[in-house]
A = this chain, B = another copy of it.
Amino acid sequence: MNYYAGVDLGGTNIKAGIVDESGKVVCKDLTPTNAGRPYQEVIKDIADLLNKVIAKSGIDKSAIKSIGVGNPGTCDIPNGIVIYASNIDFYNVPMRDEMHKYFDVPVYIDNDANCAALGEFYALDGDVSDMVFITLGTGVGGGIIINKRLYTGYNGTAAEFGHMMLKQGGIECSCGTKGCWENYASVTALIRITKEYAEKYPDSAVAERCKDGVSGRTAFEMAKMGDSGAKSIVDEWIGYVATGVVSVINLFQPQYVVIGGAISKEGNYLLDPIRAHQMKNAYSQIPNHTQIAVAKLGNDAGLVGSAFLGKGEI
């Protein structure tokens, strides 16, 4: 059996794990990132964590075919360099070369959303060759699989789904333009819509509930309990998600669109209205249409995907 090592480098924690050929996480562990330190220190911690996980797994080091590192930022993938990852203060960090000081297997890098996409791709059933992964969280991100491989564009920065225009001239985006999809379809946007509703209807049950704080779950929980105001919030937000998903389908027509992020735990309560919107509004009139599914791997997607960066390469 071949094994692949993966590292999910985040703003808060470094996660490392060993994944077998089938995509099963054999062993994993984590350590704080302590972001802001020189990259050499962070990468030494990655190496120490990885060695610890390998030792704990009992797998012979020679069975580990490659190491993949998922990074929270933009990467020069062919050269193994993290160009920038501002939340961990990494700028032009030679990740691959630094990792090679500790390990002599091939090292691959990519960004975290692409790694999560690859992980979710390998978790799909059946013979799938094209998939788009969309993650709904603080922002909207994702990854593209074409012909069973990550498609990252000419410069490694493709799949910025959050910055696909949804409503030109709309809400101002962190990127400087107005109306990007992530200002409507992120969980941040769902929270904003919930708060706006509470302000507009201060006597509503939603407003009462919001006094205890608002999360992405607030409106979903209340809608499922039958509150019509919460239902209108959820409908509006899912409408924005669905509109962008239909754009993605009209462009890519993948076999699967997989939706990730914590909110994807809503399952069919989230997906059914998106599917209805697809059936009504997607452009293609032919019967074999894109399947929409929720992510399966949850927090392990980045780990499995980073490990599998080397799968098929070697």
Contact = CB atoms under 8 A, between A and B. Distances in A.
A154 B84 contact: no
Interface in A224-251: 240, 243-244, 246-247, 250-251
Interface in A66-94: 74, 76, 83-84
Contacts of A243: 165, 168, 177
A83 B281 contact: no
Nearest to A248: B251
Nearest to A131: B154
A160 interface: yes
Interface residues of A, number: 52
A150 to B, nearest CB: 12
B250 A164 contact: yes
A132 to B, nearest CB: 9
Residue from A151, A184, A289 with most neighbouring chain B CB atoms (10 Å): A151
Q: How many copies does the complex hold?
A: 2
Nearest to A76: B286
Contact of A168 (B146, B167, B175, B251): B167
Classify the secondary structure of A's interface with B. loop
Interface stretch (A54-62, A204-212, A252-260): A252-260
B244 A154 contact: no
Interface string A74-117: 10100000011000000000000000000000000000000000
Interface in A148-189: 151-161, 163-169, 175-177, 179, 184
A130 B130 CA distance: 16
A164 to B, nearest CB: 5
A177 B179 CA distance: 18
Contacts of A289: 155
Given A158-B253, A160-B250, A176-B281, 14 more contacts: A130-B154, A146-B151, A152-B253, A154-B254, A155-B286, A157-B253, A158-B251, A159-B251, A163-B247, A164-B164, A164-B250, A165-B244, A167-B168, A168-B240
In the A-B complex, the 5 residue pairs with the smallest Cβ-Cβ separation, listed nearest first, are: A153-B253, A157-B284, A158-B253, A160-B250, A163-B283
Interface of A: 74, 76, 83-84, 129-130, 144, 146-147, 151-161, 163-169, 175-177, 179, 184, 240, 243-244, 246-247, 250-255, 280-281, 283-286, 288-290
